[in-house]
A and B are shown apart, each in its own frame.
Chain A
Amino acid sequence: MFQDQIQMIQSITPFLLEGLWLTFRITIIGIVVGSLIGMVLGTLRSLRIPGLTALIGLYIHLFRGSPFLVQLYIFYYLLPELGVAWLQFDSMQAAVITLCLYTGSYVTEIVNSAIAALPKGQDEAARAVGMTKAQSLWYVVLPQALRMIIPPMSGVFVIIIKSTAILSVVGLSELTRQGQIASLRFPGDLLLIYVCVAALYFVYCYPVLKFADWAEKRIGGVTLKMR
């Protein structure tokens, strides 16, 4: 009775898995590069250097205060229009750059909040024994801040995974795009196909969410106004 459906699933599974694999790789790049951006900018922002703080604030507001889809359009359609050689992005480049900057804006905010949440006495004690500002950051402030960012970072990871679905609009064959293609091949099984797609997203997100819960209980973290 379900013969057809089983066959259909068998035939689309390799494509969906391929899509999941691409989604996986892109999210990992986004998380790694976004974290690096966030660590550096979040730390710099905590130093309260007048012009720099404002500049980083602008970056955060632009990327957190606008839809990811719009950001993607700007990087994919608008910037190449400007005719500047190094702004000629193909879909993959536009997708990865946008995702990294988008992730970075979240992580910057998280790192900055974590540093701000640390009691002021920690930095003061470090300065009082003669550490420089940089030494205090490196040996005292950041090691403690990094513990606090683990739970909210897991939350960001899940947001990033889900955001990659939007990358399908520039033709990147990640998981959602593969689902769309499959539904063109099997228009009658739309529901089943998207159930499969959702299941695969779930398989990827669930462990991360579980980890976030566990980390939250274990470590406690910075609470952020997310979304």
Chain B
Amino acid sequence: MIGFSPSEEQNMIVNTVKQFATDVMRKKFRDCDEAGEIPAEIIDGAWELGLVASCIPEQLGGAGWEHSALTGTLLAEELAWGDLSMAMHILAPSLAILPIVEMGTEEQKKKYLPALCGNKFTAATAAFIEPLYDFDPNEFSTTAKRNSGYTLNGQKCYVPLAAGADFILVYAGEGEERQCFIVEKGTKGLEIGEREQNMGIKALATYELNLKDCKVPAENRLGGKKGSDFNRLANLSRVALASMAVGVARASFEFSRDYAKERHAFGEPIASRQAIAFMLADMAIEVDAARLLNWEAAWKLDRNEDATREACLAKSYADNMVMLVTDYGVQVMGGHGYVRDNPVELWFRNARGFTTFTGMAIV
């Protein structure tokens, strides 16, 4: 039966996250962007909401909730509405947790998941993007060669929290396949580079990685002999990022809408002119359009169906949408949108990243 209202449980989660985003994230996001850092209280506060470790089985210390990509998109939208850097930081451990929960071997689950069920935030992450303008996740240039274990070679970038993580899930090409490998901190051949400096998501610590003949044991291949389902992971990541784009766009829409009603020019609020009002209307339509497309993709993933087409369309649509909407956000505010006293320029910078962001979040 077709329906568009979140379940009671989903509403509860969304409301909790919304509250946190409003009361905590929104109070500090500008400072964090300027400082390039997120205070531990914020991250630990979010951790206490139990969003990330909830899908870890109970016997391993988690809450044992059934995983739902759809619920994930709902909460990721709210977090990204609060702040994209913080959202990516808060959700980073999922990059390792979800693939292991869904596709890991029993041994992998036992070995890596309990440490991620503590009272405090524990960093974990995945390395996906490579520093090439034509980076193609269908043909990772990072390779894994089978010998007694696996030898990894290649370069990665935009790896969130790499410096603080005990292990990193590395995506690599293994012959024709795309597989993930668990690389523990300190493994020989794993070099974590300097913290990256980007146009946006400035508060998120991301790093470049170098893998030089980095050897991992055979049992570190995600899913063991069976391996993992790359397409599904890529799709779960697409819907996560698309929902974050929706959150960022919504933030810009709401802020510029409210501003347009306050700001007067030529004796009237600027919102009472069609040139402004129509931009705002288009922003609202596009935000909803992108959200609905993404919900449909996530819904399909929850049914364990192949949703590659839907997820790619949703991601690509959201990538375009968020740029348009955040650009309008700045435009509606004129010069006041361009200065860093107001947040729309920050959302505009963050928005530009989405076409680049792949595999950087997962729900």
Are chains A and B native binding partners rather than an unrelated pairing? no
A residues adjacent to B (C-beta < 8 A):
none
